[in-house]
Amino acid sequence: MKKENLLIVISTDNKDSILKFPLLYGGVSIPRGYWKRVHIMFWGASIKTVIKSKKIRKKVNEIQKDGVEFSSCIVCAQEYNAVKKLEKSGIVCNHTGELLNEALQNDDIWSTLTV
């Protein structure tokens, strides 16, 4: 059985790295048929970068149109006072540890990348 799901966990606060690796690769993965489901998750310092960068939020909105899903750690988002701004950009704020745990325990159907 071939893996069809990709989870990308972003915790870096480096804007250039966020734009040039996880958002670039994650954004082309569904249209090019690399993966059927792509979920990009923001944790920790990456959340501060997302709320400060209009360019990142614009890219998130663009690749959501191709079916890429986004979420953010609710605990981190609350600590950074970022919930409203993230949700306005279509990034769901929830307990992301549940999906991460599912992906890590079901590595026969999920691939996981961390940045």
pLDDT tens digits for range 28-44: 999 999 999 999 999 99
What is the chain's mean pLDDT, rounded? 97
pLDDT tens digits for range 13-30: 999 999 999 999 999 999
Query: What one-character-per-residue DSSP string does 19-43 give?
Result: HHTHHHHHHHHTTTTS-SEEEEEE-
The reported pLDDT for the residue numbered 107 is 87
Q: Work out the pLDDT band at 45, boundaries 50, 70, 90.
A: very high
Instruction: Measure the CA–CA gap between 102 and 83, rounded to whole angstroms.
Output: 23
Instruction: Measure the CA–CA gap between 34 and 4, rounded to whole angstroms.
Output: 8
Picking from 41, 112, 50, the residue whose alpha carbon sits closest to that of residue 86 is: 50
pTM of the model: 0.96
